[in-house]
Amino acid sequence: MKICFKILALCCAVTMTMTMMTVAFAAAPKGEIKVGAVFPMTGPSATFGQESVNGIKMGLATINKAGIKGQALKVIFEDDKGEPVEAANAVRKLINIDKVVTLLGSVASSNTLAAAPIAQEAKIPLITPASTNEKVTMAGDYISRTCFTDDFQGVVMAKFAFESLKKTRAAIIVDNSSDYSKGLSKVFREKFTALGGTIVGKSEYAYQQKDTDFRSLLQKIKRENPDVIWLPGYYTEAGLILKQAREMGMNLPFLGGDGWDSATLQKLAGPEGIKGNYISSHFSSEDKDPMVQNFVKEYTKLYKQAPGAMAALGYDVIFVLADALKRAKTFGPEDIKMAINSTTNFQGITGNITIDKNRNAQKSAVVLETTANGFAFKQKVAP
């Protein structure tokens, strides 16, 4: 027993020494600001992660041409696979091993919610470009975002359904494994009923991520006779739901949030499924603003595909960070945090970004129509 303990103690000592050595060697060389980025590069929301990273890399190239106060910005990318546990692990690794001074990420709110408390505790600022769930920035003063929140998105779509589409009976299908989806469905329910609409069905219509068969669920909803369906999920399942619904003869409009904003949605839903639905999002590549058009042109040239909302958000977040770094007194996490939180009227391609006192961005949203040829710009809604 005693020998066992000694061996154990020895092992611990060796491991600790090794960890310390790694840390010592990993300390940043002069002239480099290390930033960590956590995005889903694989898994069900992979296109979102890949687009975000593309946007960040494109912005990074421009920023590093001039540098920030003589230093280069270095971004270390980690894959969270779209899973909260992986996001938490990646953030721990970036903070403890890579010693980053700021974190960017992730896309899905569930993942950012898992990462935020860790960043807060380590006092490393974290900016999320795309997580819209309310709770994300409540983790503490080191957590901020450069996108709008679900409150705003849910309200925009509830108003759009009731006022622009003149629909009064809505059904809600929620992705039960996503904080994002649950947040959006709650806001929509409140706003839509406040406007005078009815939410049909006694119980919630819910599914889980990675489900593929929705026919029985849709049959149940069909029985309640809604005239519009609020489906605030991600494109992987939303695409399949649209296809199956149309096959079952459900031709009513489905409404979604920015979670639908991926080119994969069209492919999964098919030409029939995609027609006549609406989403709210951060950015439209059809926006006539010259800054946006310039971004679209360069992005398309570089990556051979049109940018989605996540690419635009990724591009904006790295510039918001660069802007904050320029204003920060030092490159210590504390000063960077203060600079990020005092961002006002930053001209981004997804709108004018002002970080408010709750560290959320105040900015406009766009409503897009889904068509077989992509997302068509419908209207712009200011906060």
Partner 1 sequence: MSDQVAYFFQDLGQYLINGIAQGSIYALVALGYTMVYGIIRLINFAHGEFYMVGAFVGLFLIQAHLPFIIALPCAMLGSGLLAVTVERLVYRPIRKAGKIQALITALGVSLLLQYLGQNLLGADPRPFPDALENKTYMMGPLMISKIQLIIIVTTVILMGALRYLVMYTKIGKAMRATSYNLEAAELMGIDTNKIISFTFFVGAALAGAAGVLVGMYYNTVEPMMGMIPGLKAFVAAVLGGIGVIPGAVLGGLVLGVAENLVIGFWVSTYRDAIAFAILIIILLIRPAGLLGRNTREKV
List 26, 67, 141, 267, residue binding partner 1 (CB under 8 A): 267
Under the criterion CB under 8 A, does residue 111 sit at the interface with partner 1?
no
Dig out the tokens for 191 from the structure: 């706003």
Looking at 62-70, 95-103, 156-164, 208-216, which segment touches partner 1 (CB under 8 A)? 208-216
- Name the residue among 174, 147, 125 with its Cα closest to residue 310: 147
Under the criterion CB under 8 A, does residue 145 sit at the interface with partner 1?
no
Minimum CB distance to partner 1 smaller for 34 or for 182: 182
Under the criterion CB under 8 A, does residue 226 sit at the interface with partner 1?
no
Under the criterion CB under 8 A, does residue 215 sit at the interface with partner 1?
yes
Contact between 193 and 182 (Cβ < 8 Å): no
Minimum CB distance to partner 1 smaller for 125 or for 273: 273
DSSP conformation class of 28:
P
Minimum CB distance to partner 1 smaller for 223 or for 326: 223
Separation CA 300–CA 285 (nearest Å) = 11
Under the criterion CB under 8 A, does residue 371 sit at the interface with partner 1?
no
Under the criterion CB under 8 A, does residue 216 sit at the interface with partner 1?
yes
Separation CA 101–CA 34 (nearest Å) = 6
Amino acid at 241: I
Distance of CA 205 to the CA centre of its chain: 24
Under the criterion CB under 8 A, does residue 108 sit at the interface with partner 1?
no
* CA distance between the termini of the chain: 67
Under the criterion CB under 8 A, does residue 299 sit at the interface with partner 1?
no
Separation CA 232–CA 270 (nearest Å) = 19
Under the criterion CB under 8 A, does residue 248 sit at the interface with partner 1?
yes
Under the criterion CB under 8 A, does residue 373 sit at the interface with partner 1?
no
In the complex, the smallest distance separating the C-beta of residue 78 from partner 1, rounded to whole angstroms, is 15
List 33, 37, 38, 46, residue binding partner 1 (CB under 8 A): 46
Separation CA 166–CA 73 (nearest Å) = 49
Looking at 187-195, 213-221, 342-350, 359-367, which segment touches partner 1 (CB under 8 A)? 213-221
* Helices (H), ranges, the chain: 2-26, 46-66, 84-96, 109-122, 150-159, 179-195, 215-223, 235-247, 263-274, 290-303, 309-327, 333-341
Binding residues (CB under 8 A) for partner 1: these are 41-44, 46-47, 176, 203-208, 210, 212-213, 215-217, 219-220, 223, 236, 239-240, 243-244, 247-249, 264, 267-268, 270
